[in-house]
Structure 1
Amino acid sequence: MAPPRGSQAPLEFGGPLGAAALLVLLPATMFHLLLVAGSESARILALPTSLPGLQALWSPRALLLCVTWLGLQAALYLLPARKVAEGLELKDKSHLRYPINGFQALVLTALLVGLGVSLGLPLGALADMLFPLALAATLIAFIFSLLLYLKALAAPAQDLAPGGSSGNPIYDFFLGRELNPRIGSFDFKYFCELRPGLIGWALINLALLMQEAKLRGSPSLAMCLVNAFQLLYVGDALWHEEAVLTTMDITHDGFGFMLAFGDLAWVPFTYSLQAQFLLHHPQHLGLPLASVICLINAVGYYIFRAANSQKNTFRKNPSDPSVADLETISTATGRQLLVSGWWGMVRHPNYLGDLIMALAWSLPCGVSHLLPYFYPIYFTTLLVHREARDERQCLQKYGRAWHQYCQRVPYRIVPYIY
């Protein structure tokens, strides 16, 4: 039975009007950044002085490449997994099962790309196709989101996301109606969350590095650092793929345009901005400064990985020796809230590590342009908004226990600041 209309979750992102605006603003922002990154001035707040011709903006070949890429990653998703994990309990007390083979997909993709390059595949040519590829990915995201919306119209009420059935088609199309849309055992949201976008991001970075080597004889130290830092991040996410099953994206958000566009287009084409910038605006980076940047990234990665590992270990087995001595607060749901260790310092220590790494990814690009710093600026905004959404959900879920936790851990992301 569907919940009464008055019990619907409060609308987010400004409701239908905000969702309609984001449907336009998100792709427009991505396209603007792609054009600016390749311009001579690289001024993020200025309009490009000249636009490329239609042939440089749209290409059937780019659409074919995107479809082929999605097909390849879907085929790798269907390969036998090293492990099959259960998701969190659903409304009907059941658990969905997920293949844990994302890192396997990354390795096999790398081997296939390496084989292709050795046989003459012009991988660097992708650097000149980013805009048509992004346009094709956006078109795919719109069509995919429409199909997901239509599929969800026939889904049982218990399969809908908490905020995905407002009754407004624009809002529901944006946020996503169905929580776990599947055909058989193929989970669309889980597949898109880490596979095509993250691996595509690493591939685009590599293509930009190869193009720089072709143009200048060898890749710059700055380009190598950006590639290495971001490949580590992608590899870590896929190695610890099971951890995504407890994130807000999987457990709470429906699968609509917001996540489909973010996974398939926004991530690979805006997260690679630093490498795009360096291809067109080379930066000299000496070893002393490079060493400092590496240290900053290492600190961020250590905080990010240690905090996430501690949380995941505690969720799997609170009696594990590494977390058994941590202090907790009991909740009415039966779950425990950590109030010591990393999660006793701030409420989201993993976000702190994420932001430190984001800064390290931009520093190799120098400080003369704002464009390479779009990612840490955007990511700070995203995480602050995400933290606020998480705060509301935890307060609703844990009630008094969450108030006690907030009193014990007053800072949200940055100790003594925020």
Structure 2
Amino acid sequence: MAPPQGSQAPLEFGGPLGAAALLVLLPGTMFHLLLVAGSGPARLLGPPPYLPGLETLWSPRALLLVLAWLGLQAAFYLLPARKVAEGLELKDKSRLRYPINGFQALVLTALLVGLGAAAGLPLGALPEMLLPLAFAATLTAFILSLLLYLKAQLAPASALAPGGSSGNPIYDFFLGRELNPRIGSFDFKYFCELRPGLIGWVLLNLALLLQEAKLRGSPSLAMWLVNGFQLLYVADALWYEEAVLTTMDITHDGFGFMLAFGDLAWVPFTYSLQAQFLLYHPQPLGLPAAGAICLLNAIGYYIFRGANSQKNTFRKNPSDPSVAGLETIPTATGRRLLVSGWWGVVRHPNYLGDLIMALAWSLPCGLSHLLPYFYILYFTALLVHREARDERQCRQKYGRAWQEYCRRVPHRILPYVY
């Protein structure tokens, strides 16, 4: 039988064998990190302190909490939005519409959490439930991915993602067959991309901070910095939510286990690793060192936000005074490539800012353990891989114009290094 339309797209992540390995490796890595973060040695490498049994992982209460959390964020998603934006043009020339109310969801969540804490909501109990919560989130991501895979069997060829219809069920389940799975106006991928995982991340950070205050009388300066830096990052992502509509996740990747697990489980439970580490391994941090780390984070954020804002402004309105004077390269598609400003320094200046911030989040944890630096190691690998995927797509899309851009801007992420 001939493979479905779209199977000509190059296979990612090592094809079916790589996808099958990642189905096991990604959850396994997450649980390993959760186990070692609370252990005495806190070793990134080496065996975990113990292997949890099903009775340790499974908790109906944890599953109920995860489902209630998803339900709450879905309810916020369905509230009237401050703005409704259109996505990029699809194969059938249509454009989907998306509510821009992620920051509103963050504020409403903060209000509810504040009221709950004032009424005695035991947020400090969440750190003790990290393993069953992570297991429940993983189970939810698996079931959601399976349902979406079955739903995609009925989707027209025009609705499939470029790389999600290989004909191999394991690969397609992992990568996702359908580009924009929806029920009515509810877009599953767009909803999961920023809301439950990112907001859940800062909620877990807050719970870890409160637990540290309970154990030691007050949160440490290091814990305050980690919470503040990461809250800024999440608030920025939700305030500029519309920008996600032009990212590879939304425009190219299907919604399968890779993104569902990443959004619902990997993000909140591994991105909060620094706060988890600090709860069990307090680190001294003086004001001069804290000031230097704050400056480093500010530099990273300045690069990250400046590059993203410049790109988004140019895409919306090339005549905007802030970008009208930038040099560009015309392409056969009618679009123009920025070759000055932030995007004339390196091809992905936003990735550079991201990595600088990642380093700033890890430094409050000291230099005695490698574990808190897992995030920057992982994120470096992720962004290098994503940059390679983006490079390939841009080369196919823009042809000679992209070759000229690469000649003019030879460095990809780090000037004069890579």
| TM-score, normalised relative to structure 1 | 0.98
Q: Which whole-Å deviations, capped at 9, do the CAs of 1:272-299 have from their partners, x for residues lacking one?
A: 0000000000001000000000000000
**Partner Cα distance (1:15, 1:277) in 2:** 35
Paired residue secondary structure (2:139):
helix
**Residue in 2 that maps onto 1:225:** 225
* Residue equivalent to 2:32: 32
1:168-187 mapped onto 2 (5 Å cutoff): 168-187=168-187
Give the share of equivalent positions with the same residue, in percent. Answer: 86
Q: Distance in 1 between matches of 2:58 and 2:131?
A: 8
AA of the residue aligned to 2:160: L
Counterpart CA distance in 1 for 2:224 and 2:325 is: 41
The 3 A distance-change label for structure 1 pair 367 and 354 is same
CA contact (8 A) 1:308 1:350 kept: yes
Q: 1:98 aligns to what?
A: 98
Cα pair distance change 1:102/1:86, threshold 3 Å: same
8 Å contact from structure 1 (residues 328, 336) kept in 2: yes
2:180 counterpart letter in structure 1 = N
2:317 match: 317
* Aligned mates of 1:253, 1:296 — CA distance in 2: 33
The alignment partner of 1:129 has SS state of helix
1:193–1:263 contact (8 Å) kept in structure 2: yes
2:62 is the counterpart of 1:62: yes
* Shift in Å, 1:50: 3.2
Question: Counterparts in 2 of 1:7-406, with a 5 A limit?
Answer: 8-51=8-51, 54-406=54-406
Q: Secondary structure at the match of 1:39?
A: coil
The secondary structure found in structure 2 opposite 1:337 is strand
Amino acid at match of 2:362: S
CA distance in 1, matches of 2:160, 2:366: 46
Matches of 2:26 and 2:6, distance apart in 1: 30
Shift of 1:47: 1.2
1:37 shift after superposition: 0.3
1:55 Cα offset (Å): 4.2
Contact 1:56–1:129 under 8 Å retained in 2: no
- How large is the Cα RMSD of the aligned pairs? 1.2
State the distance in 1 between where 2:6 and 2:295 align.
52
- CA distance in 2 between partners of 1:403 and 1:154 (Å): 40
Q: What amino acid is aligned across from residue 109 of structure 1 in structure 2?
A: T
| CA drift at 1:324 | 0.2
1:97 Cα deviation after fit:
0.3
Within 2, Cα distance between the matches of 1:55 and 1:172?
32
Cα distance in 1 between the residues matched to 2:135 and 2:15: 26
State the SS of the aligned residue for 2:406. Answer: helix
Structure 1 unaligned blocks of 5 or more:
none
Instruction: Identify the range of structure 1 (255-264 vs 3-12) with the bigger mean alpha-carbon deviation.
Output: 3-12
Alpha-carbon distance in 2 for matches of 1:400, 1:343:
18
Distance 2:198 2:6 in 1: 38
Secondary structure of the structure 2 residue equivalent to 1:104: helix
Q: CA deviation at 1:57?
A: 2.4
* TM-score scaled by length of structure 2: 0.98
Which segments of 5 or more consecutive residues in structure 2 lack a partner in the other structure?
none
Give the letter aligned to residue 280 of structure 2. Answer: H
Q: How many residues align?
A: 417
Question: Given that residues 314 and 323 in structure 2 are in contact (C-alpha distance below 8 angstroms), is that contact kept between their aligned partners in structure 1?
Answer: yes
| Counterpart code for 1:85 | A
Q: Distance in 2 between matches of 1:166 and 1:50?
A: 39
User: Which is worse superposed, 43-52 or 349-358?
Assistant: 43-52
* 1:23-44 deviations in Å (ceiling 9; x for gaps): 0000000000000001111011
